[in-house]
Amino acid sequence: MSSSEIRRIHIEAWQNSGMSQAAYCREHVRTLMLNARRKSLKIEVKKEQI
């Protein structure tokens, strides 16, 4: 998927969300950070199990 298509999907999701652009972006960044943290924690747990 190209970066322009990713951008288009992101903008469409924001427009369909009913949120302001700022609110949607804050929520999107928060979600990305939580997902990254969860992924990091899963990697740490797997390393501890070895």
pLDDT tens-digit profile of 17-35?
999 999 999 998 999 888 8
Give residue-wise pLDDT tens across range 31-50.
988 888 888 877 666 666 65
Mean per-residue pLDDT of the chain: 86
The model carries a pTM of 0.61
Please state, in angstroms and as integers, the Cα–Cα distance from residue 42 to each residue in 21, 30, 32, 34, following that order: 31, 18, 15, 12
Domain ranges of the chain: 3-49
Q: How confident is the model at residue 1 (pLDDT cuts 50, 70, 90)?
A: confident
Q: Is 18 left (phi over 0), alpha (psi -120 to 50) or beta?
A: left
